[in-house]
Amino acid sequence: MLPLPFRLEGAMAYPLQRVATKVSTYALQTLGFPALAEGNVIHLEDHEIGVVEACSGLSMLFTFIAMATGVVLVIRRPWLDKLLIVASAIPISLLVNMIRITVTGVLHEMVGSRLANLVFHDLAGWLMMPMALGLLWLELDLLSRLLVEPAPATAPLKPIDLVGATRGTREPHDPGEGRRRDGKQDPPAALKRALRNS
């Protein structure tokens, strides 16, 4: 995957940092932890979490969009399902990044900084993609229940069994029709008879 130009990366990373900081702070407050967002820093009771550019989720966003596009290419679904899957890659990757930051804040308050930093930088980075793929699988399951594929209007065509059709015909026909001098049946006549009987 090619890296983005520096200006574009900077322009996209800052809004993602702000969203991740605000939503993670709100989630921590909802869980009952004293949290305050100041710029891109979340202040907890005894600790601070800095949501730097590396934590903006930009690399996760592009990686997961590529993964969702790969999933769309290999599944057999209606085009509406495929469009929804690719479009949902953005909110899923942002949600997973916010869950990572929120869990880190909870661990800072409950367990301590050493374990929280280990989870934040190592373990959570590895677990983000499996978590995002799990959410994508849940979305596929939900879409298969909500958007039911319509049944085909006509029955599928069956292949013609020329050999069985020529043996099993009981309709009266002209004995000389389609016969050659050697007694074998002419192939075009056998095909016409098989089509007439099907």
pLDDT surpassing 80 at residue 17: yes
162 pLDDT above the threshold of 60: no
- What single DSSP character describes residue 42? E
**Closest-CA residue to 106 (of 59, 163, 49, 151):** 49
pLDDT band at 175 (very low <50, low <70, confident <90, very high): low
C-alpha 41/C-alpha 64 separation (Å) is 25
Between 147 and 31, the more confident residue is 31
Task: Report the Cα 141 to chain-centroid distance in Å.
Answer: 10
φ, ψ at 86 (rounded to 5°): -65, -40
The pLDDT tens digits for 43-89 are 888 778 877 655 667 777 888 888 899 999 998 888 888 899 999 99
**pLDDT at residue 87, rounded to an integer:** 92
Whose tokens are 């995002």? That residue is: 132
- Taking alpha carbons only, the member of 116, 83, 120, 114 closest to residue 100 is 120
Residue (of 176, 177, 175, 172) closest to 192 by Cα position: 177
What's the pLDDT score for residue 92? 92
138 — pLDDT class (breaks 50, 70, 90): very high
